[in-house]
Structures are given as C-alpha cells and as structure tokens.
Amino acid sequence: MAVPELHRFKLDNGLRVVLAPDPTAPVVGVAVHYDVGFRSEPEGRTGFAHLFEHLMFQGSESLEKLAHFRHVQSSGGTFNGSTHPDYTDYYEVLPAAALERALFLEADRMRAPKLTQENLANQIDVVKEEIRLNVLNRPYGGFPWILLPPVLYSTFANAHNGYGDFVDLENATLDDCAAFFDTFYAPANAVLTVAGDFEVGRARELVEKHFGDVPFRPAPPRRSFAEPRPAEELRGFHTDPHAPLPALAVGYRMPDPVGELDAYVANLVLAGVLTDGDGSRLQQRLVHRDAIVTDIGAGAGLFGPFEARDPDTFSITAIHAPEVTGDRVLKAIDEEIDLLATTPPDERELAKVTARWVAGLHSDHDRMVSRTLALGAFELLYDDASLVHGLADRFAAVTADDVAAAAKALRPDSRAVLIVQPEGGSK
C-alpha cells in the first residue's frame, strides 16, 4: 500500500494542522487534540480535565446548548471526545459534504465556548453517572487504570484518579473552567487533523477561514511529570464490592514513549510475545499449563499505546481463582519473564507478533475515526503525524535481543503490584 500523502502546516495563531486526503470513501474525519490531560490537573481538582471535556460540548458564542450535537448529527455525522493522561481529543466523522460545518463547529468552541453555571452543574451530574456506570456499580470498575497508578507513582500528577473524586468534581467552579480554558485551550496548544475525502487546497482555505482568527495565546510551558522509578516492589490492596474473583495488576515503568520510541515499540512486541494468543508465553503457562488464571493480558499505556509522554506504564493484569494466591500468579509471571530475558524469542514468535501488529495497524487505518485520531495524537506527542505510517516497519525491525532486553527491564524490585480482593473473599 502506498504511503498516504500528508500536508502539515501551522497557522499564525500557532494551531498545527495535519491534512490527510484519501478519496476512497465520501467521508471525512476532523479532530482537535489539546495538549492537556488529567496529569495537568491541579491538586483538589481531580477529574477536572474530563469534566471540562464534557463542558466543551455545551455551547459556544454561535451555538446554543445541544446545538453542537444537532449540527453534527443532522449532517449525518458522529462525534465524541476523550480525555487521556496527556491530551484531550474531540472528533467528528461525517459525510464529506459536512467538512466545512465540522471545521466551523471545532473553531467556534476553540474561539468562544459558553461556560455557564447551569451547564457545569448538569455535567457534574452526568459525569457522576458516568463514574457510577463505569466504576462504582460494576465489578473491576477502574481496574487497573484508576487503581494501579497510585501504587506505582508517588507524585499527584501521575498517581491521582483521572475520573475524579465526587467531592472535587462538586467543588469545581466556573472560574476554574475559565482559568483552565485560557491556560490550555489555546490554538498554539492544539493540533487540528482533517482526514478523508477532500481537496487539499480547498481544505486549507476552509481551515484558514474558520480557525485563522482564533486569537493567539501562548501555549503553557510543558511540564515534566518525571519521577524516580520505584526502588523496591510496591504493593497496594483494593477491596472490590462487586467482583466475584480476585485479580491482580502488575505495573512497571517503561522507556520514554517519545524519546526512546524504538525501545517503547520493543515493549509492545514484548507484550504480544507474553499474552497475545493461545501460543503466547503467559497464556500457555498460566491459562493452559498451570491453569491458575482465567485470563491474562499485558500492554503499554493504561488506555493503549501511544497516548502518553514519559512516564508511561507497562502493565500485566490477571483474574484468578480464589484458591490461587496472587503470589503464585506473580511467581509464574516472573519465571516466564526471566526465561524470556535469558533466552530470546525465536524468529517465528516475533513474526507472529509483528504480523498481527501490521494487520492491526491496517485495520485502524481503515476506520476513519481511528486514523484521524492516530494522526492527531502523533502530531501532538511526537511533532510528526507521519510516524503513524512508519510504525509497521518499526515493529518489523524489533529484534529478539530487543525483546529480551525489554523483558530484563521488568524488574520485580522496581514495580507495583495491585491486589484486588472480592469483598466477600476474605470472609
């Protein structure tokens, strides 16, 4: 497949723009990534970045509350937004005819969102329902993305709950919203991505027309969230009122996703060798041979790879039977990782993981929404959207020794172990 054409430029107000034309279907994707996620929240305002994401849908100077949704959907499109550790994204996928409308909608809320007390109160209620739905009322809610960071990390930025505590959410004020917007939602702190069926010159004109007069504000200086790696094994415990079976999550620090991209990719291959498919190391050992876990998974990034800067988390999670101790599961994981560190995977093991990654990348590329979001996230985090197109080659270039080295770095004396016990489990 030919590498798709990319056009990247910057407006006078600092907004970075990525255009990725593709005429294969009469559909366009539009995304805006803002360089702020839940790691930037101040203490006492946990969950604020996500709450703010909700507020950005609630109206702007040109659009009443609910109008944003109606304009996207009555154009035949779909939309959403999501909050990550280091960025917040907003996106629409629409029939190509609605390109200008989508650009207008994103520009209008970047220029002048209408932040009101009424909408803030309403969206605090909605977010609390979202948390009840996804965390409080469900087994393994927040496992491991909310529960593991406070064990692995020591600073507020890295350790706190990105969904937020109810008390913090309820205390959020309109002035907090204004300060957050003026600080982080500047055009110079954002990336606009347009993918799909359009003519490049025309799209560029439309981008200038709608975003060109969003006034410049300086991007905030980028904070470092660096903190030392654990100097010992850290342990945390959580009692889950709904879970029927115990679970555990192991968290390790990993190479800088941006500064050490190839080492980071080697960790993704490592995750595949460990848990991807029935023939993977940990599936074979723990699920099939020892039969001590129901399911096991490993991966980089608590929402997926390439969604955070340093520090990022490599995690292994397992749900196991009550008669099996967490330490027994841990011991088996450690033995397999040790084995991998000393005897690197063979060619076929690597080829399996690489082929699945290549197919997965193609599949992501085929869905307009995932393609648009990947281009925007790479432009934001790596200053280079085109890296997306080179990922398959980078995966293919990972050697057996790279994987063994990545396994060797998953040290028992520098990690976090979270033990989840069912509420009835200890009785």
Partner 1 sequence: MTAVQHRSAQEIGRTERGPRPVPPLGGQRAAAELSHVDTVLPNGLRVLAVRKDTVPLVEVRLSIPFAGTGELHAATAEVLAETIVTGTARRDRVAIDTEMALIGGELSTVVDPERLAISASALASGLPTLFDVLADLLTEASYVDAEVARESARLIERLAIARTQPRTIAREALQRRRYGNHPVTREVPEAEDVAKVVPEAVRALHANAVLPRNSTLVIVGDVDPDAVVAELERALGDWASDKSANVLPDLPELTGGEVLLVPRPGAVQSQLRLSAQALRRTDPRYAHLQLANLAYGGYFSSRLVENIREDKGYTYSAHSGFEFTGNTATLLVDADTATDVTAAALLETRYELARLGLVPPTADEVESVRQYAIGSLGISISSQTGLAGQLSALAQAGLGFEWLAGHPERLAAVTAEEVAEAALDFFAPHRFTGVVVGDADTIGRGLEAVGGVAIGAA
Site for partner 1 in 80-119 (CB under 8 A): 93-101, 104-105, 108, 111-116
Tokens of 168: 């913090």
Residue 249 sits in the site that holds partner 1 (CB under 8 A): no
Q: Which of 229, 331, 367, 408 binds partner 1 (CB under 8 A)?
A: 367
Residue 219 sits in the site that holds partner 1 (CB under 8 A): no
Binding residues with partner 1: total (CB under 8 A): 105
Q: Which CB atom, from 21 or from 220, has the smaller least distance to partner 1?
A: 220
Contact 217, 52 (CB under 8 A): no
Query: Using CA atoms, how far apart are residues 87 and 307, in angstroms rounded to an integer?
Result: 8
Selected range binding partner 1 among 10-18, 69-77, 157-165, 307-315, rule: CB under 8 A: 69-77
Give the count of alpha carbons within 13 A of 195, CB side only.
26
| Bridge partner list, 234 | 416
Q: What's the min distance (Å) between Cβ of 130 and partner 1?
A: 4
Restricted to residues 281-300, the positions that interact with partner 1 (CB under 8 A) are 284, 287-288, 291, 294-295
Q: Which of 352, 382, 397, 400 binds partner 1 (CB under 8 A)?
A: 352
Q: Which of 5, 12, 170, 182 binds partner 1 (CB under 8 A)?
A: 182
Residue 138 sits in the site that holds partner 1 (CB under 8 A): yes
Q: Which of 4, 81, 159, 174 binds partner 1 (CB under 8 A)?
A: 174
Query: Using CA atoms, how far apart are residues 375 and 18, in angstroms rounded to an integer?
Result: 8
Query: Using CA atoms, how far apart are residues 331 and 159, in angstroms rounded to an integer?
Result: 26
Q: Which of 8, 328, 356, 394 binds partner 1 (CB under 8 A)?
A: 356
Query: Using CA atoms, how far apart are residues 349 and 344, in angstroms rounded to an integer?
Result: 10
Q: What's the min distance (Å) between Cβ of 54 and partner 1?
A: 10
Contact 292, 321 (CB under 8 A): yes
Tell me the per-residue interface mask from 6 to 45 with partner 1, x by CB under 8 A, - otherwise. Answer: ------------------xxxx------------x-x--x
Query: Using CA atoms, how far apart are residues 291 and 314, in angstroms rounded to an integer?
Result: 24
Q: What's the min distance (Å) between Cβ of 415 and partner 1?
A: 26
Q: How many residues are present in the chain?
A: 427
Residue 200 sits in the site that holds partner 1 (CB under 8 A): no
Task: Tell me the CA end-to-end span of the chain in Å, nearest whole number.
Answer: 59
Residue 212 sits in the site that holds partner 1 (CB under 8 A): no
Tokens of 245: 């079976």
Tokens 């432009």 belong to which residue? 379
State residue 48 phi and psi, 5-degree precision.
Answer: -70, -40
Selected range binding partner 1 among 61-69, 162-170, 296-304, 405-413, rule: CB under 8 A: 61-69
- Neighbour count for residue 34 (Cβ, 10 Å): 25
Task: Please name the helix (run of DSSP H) or strand (run of DSSP E) that holds residue 392, with its range, or none.
Answer: helix 387-397
State residue 225 phi and psi, 5-degree precision.
Answer: -105, 15
Q: What's the min distance (Å) between Cβ of 246 and partner 1?
A: 11
Selected range binding partner 1 among 327-335, 354-362, 375-383, 411-419, rule: CB under 8 A: 354-362
Per-residue CA distances from 59 to 63, 77, 118 (Å): 5, 18, 12
Q: Which CB atom, from 120 or from 385, has the smaller least distance to partner 1?
A: 120
Residue 353 sits in the site that holds partner 1 (CB under 8 A): yes
